């Protein structure tokens, strides 16, 4: 999963710098593989896995995979598909960032609680009083 995460970051940087989907077939395979690994990890350690985190990751992976699949299908149908960067509006970029923030922020909070969960079902409370 760490390798897939690092590869996703590199792909995201490449896609943002070129303004188009880069290596869409590889992205589609990576998204499907990441979905399978996410499900496997959820079943491997269910007590320490956040269902909110898994749902958010799955949602984002499905969106990326569907975008890659549509791109592959479009380029297979029309071999003259544009290879140049498409302009993106600032409003579109802000809306996309807001959606990501709304999906990811609660998932990160739930993931931290799931990781800290003790075997008895409690989460440790850190207090800075009484130094």
**Tokens representing residue 90 in the block:** 């600032």
- Judge contact between 60 and 66, C-beta under 8 A: no
Contacts of 15 (CB under 8 A, 6+ apart): 21, 22
The model carries a pTM of 0.72
**Tokens representing residue 125 in the block:** 């409370």
Helices 24-44 and 2-18, packing angle to 10 deg: 150
State pLDDT tens for residues 74-123.
888 876 655 555 666 778 778 888 888 888 888 877 777 666 766 676 76
State pLDDT tens for residues 13-67.
898 888 788 899 999 999 999 999 999 988 887 777 788 888 888 998 998 899 8
**pLDDT of the residue at 103:** 86
Helices 24-44 and 51-77, packing angle to 10 deg: 160
């Amino acid at each position: 999963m760490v390798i897939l995460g690092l590869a996703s970051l590199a792909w995201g940087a490449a896609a943002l710098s070129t303004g188009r989907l880069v290596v869409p077939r590889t992205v589609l395979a990576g998204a499907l593989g990441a979905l399978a690994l996410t499900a496997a990890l959820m079943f491997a350690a269910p007590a320490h896995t956040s269902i909110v985190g898994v749902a958010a990751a799955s949602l984002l992976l499905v969106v990326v995979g569907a975008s890659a699949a549509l791109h592959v299908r479009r380029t297979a149908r029309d071999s003259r598909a544009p290879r140049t960067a498409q302009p993106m509006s600032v409003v579109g970029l802000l809306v996309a960032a807001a959606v990501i923030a709304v999906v990811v922020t609660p998932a990160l909070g739930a993931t931290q609680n799931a990781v800290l969960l003790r075997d008895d079902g409690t989460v440790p409370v850190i207090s800075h009083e009484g130094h």
